[in-house]
Structure 1
Amino acid sequence: MNPRSAFALLCTATIAVGLYSPSNTPTQESREGTHLSSSRSEAPWPPAATFSILGYDPETGELGGAVQSRVFSVGNGVLWAEANVGVVATQAVVDVSYGPQALELLGSGMAPGQVVETILRNDPNPRPERWAVQGRQFSVMDASGNVATHTGTQASDWAGHQMNQHVSAQGNILAGPEVVRNMVHAFESTDGQHLSFRLLAALEAGQEAGGDVRGMQSAAILIVK
């Protein structure tokens, strides 16, 4: 692991970044276990653009998440976790209440897929013109590593996710689908290392693939058991 890249990922930095304008050309890709979608309209103000990963280690019982973004203090609004319950990532046109809602539903025994469906169905969508539910992106993993992820059709391009056993990577305003693909590959190829190093390896792989096209300023890792 490169110490300089680890420092860049885990420390908040005041760096100059270029402005980003979402593409007007939508793209979509889908395959088994993966649903990737892009924005058809520009968000009214900068969303919580980021890429994140949720992962589970069946050997230790640890689960957690990692996130990186051009947004300052990104961990505050993205990562949510509770020991013996699960971990959640909330981002894009974010409603941070999705985090505690998801943990409460997981704690009641609801499966991740049902949690995602329930939260989306009950979203009051109070600001549809400026902060629509169709722009939400979030991932929910239970204490056994089962995971479900949703990317809304209005999450800013490029937006999407990739899931596999015990892992899900998701992001928006990314360089392309290779960001989340590389993250999942890095997580799986570091099997046997501590979960913290696997999550960090995934962030580094996502950044190497282009990451958040606007730059990087903050990152966070959260692990529970």
Structure 2
Amino acid sequence: MTFSVVARCAETGQLGIAISSSSIAVGARCPWLRPGVGAVASQNITLPSLGPQVLDLLAQGMAASEALAEVVAGQPHSAYRQVTVIDNEGRTAYFSGAQTLGIHDAVSGEQCVAAGNMLANAGVIKAMVRAFEQASGHLADRLLAAMHAGQAHGGEAGPVHSAALVVVDDLLWPIVNLRVDWADEDPIGALDQLWQAYRGQLQDYIDRALNPHIAPGYAVSGDDR
């Protein structure tokens, strides 16, 4: 049904999530990030409110494991939830309830944690963690490397149709927020293509927001810079 990787860049402090699912618009419900605080993926039988609840506790100074444990203990249907967390110090935590669907797993690595349910096999998540740890470049590149590795090792037991990539830095908004809400095949490949198109303009959009006078123009009507 879903597999994902939640991670932090040790060099920049950026936080990010990449996720894919057989369900439509996984990016609308499952990834939750807050700059300078942490990142949470809430999946399986998804309860979106778990993300903000965990992030609120992280913002109060709790470690990832403490925040996740408190939120899971405080809601009545935890058996149906699968949740992964990384905090702003790179500490990770994960939870897979007893009703998590199909073959499922969750694994922490260096500055990352990956999880999935209804997987094709038990090796998918470990492959994702290895790929993230071995990859280089922008955090988004490393997250996508993990997703490609998971798919190459079987991914979900059935076809996936949506994918999302979100990265936050020290701004109030995500510096990367890309989604493929539905694709008949290969949404991860389509997401990667979006990232390759966006990456060259990422800094330009930040510059346009913070200091329009120095930002480049895009030759659109009304924009003469």
- Shift of residue 116 of structure 1? 1.1
Q: Does the 8 A contact of 1:65 with 1:199 survive in 2?
A: yes
Match of residue 200, structure 1, among 129, 144, 167:
144
- Shift of residue 133 of structure 1? 2.0
Amino acid at match of 2:108: M
Matched, 1:152 2:129: no
Match of 2:29, SS? Answer: helix
- Shift of residue 51 of structure 1? 0.1
Matched, 1:185 2:123: no
Q: TM-score, normalised by structure 2?
A: 0.73
Amino acid at match of 1:89: A
State the distance in 2 between where 1:141 and 1:85 align: 9
Q: Does the 8 A contact of 1:79 with 1:99 survive in 2?
A: yes
- Shift of residue 141 of structure 1? 0.9
Matched, 1:220 2:164: yes
Higher helix share: 2
Task: Give the fraction of aligned pairs with identical amino acids, expressed as a percent.
Answer: 37
State the distance in 2 between where 1:122 and 1:98 align: 10
- The residue number in structure 1 matching 2:2 is 50
Q: How does 1:91-130 map to 2 (within 5 A)?
A: 91-123=43-75, 125=76
For residues 68-114 of structure 1, what are the alpha-carbon distances to aligned partners after superposition, in whole Å with 9 as ceiling and x for unaligned? 11111101111000100110000002211101101111111111111
Q: Does the 8 A contact of 2:109 with 2:133 survive in 1?
A: no
Q: Does the 8 A contact of 1:93 with 1:133 survive in 2?
A: no
State the distance in 1 between where 2:43 and 2:163 align: 13
- The residue number in structure 2 matching 1:18 is none
Q: Does the 8 A contact of 2:18 with 2:165 survive in 1?
A: yes
For residues 32-76 of structure 1, what are the alpha-carbon distances to aligned partners after superposition, in whole Å with 9 as ceiling and x for unaligned? xxxxxxxxxxxxxxxxx2000011111111111100111111011
For residues 136-165 of structure 1, what are the alpha-carbon distances to aligned partners after superposition, in whole Å with 9 as ceiling and x for unaligned? 100111112111011112101111111122
The answer for unaligned runs of 5 or more in structure 1 is: 1-48, 126-131
Which runs of at least 4 in structure 1 moved beyond 4 Å after TM superposition? none
How many residues were matched structurally?
A: 169
State the distance in 2 between where 1:107 and 1:196 align: 24
State the distance in 1 between where 2:72 and 2:162 align: 28
- The residue number in structure 1 matching 2:181 is none
- The residue number in structure 1 matching 2:114 is 169
For residues 11-43 of structure 1, what are the alpha-carbon distances to aligned partners after superposition, in whole Å with 9 as ceiling and x for unaligned? xxxxxxxxxxxxxxxxxxxxxxxxxxxxxxxxx
Q: Does the 8 A contact of 1:63 with 1:145 survive in 2?
A: no
State the distance in 2 between where 1:112 and 1:57 align: 16
| Max Rg structure | 2
Match of 1:168, SS? Answer: strand
Amino acid at match of 1:50: T
State the distance in 2 between where 1:213 and 1:161 align: 16
Q: TM-score, normalised by structure 1?
A: 0.73
Q: Does the 8 A contact of 2:25 with 2:163 survive in 1?
A: yes
Amino acid at match of 1:100: P
Amino acid at match of 2:126: R
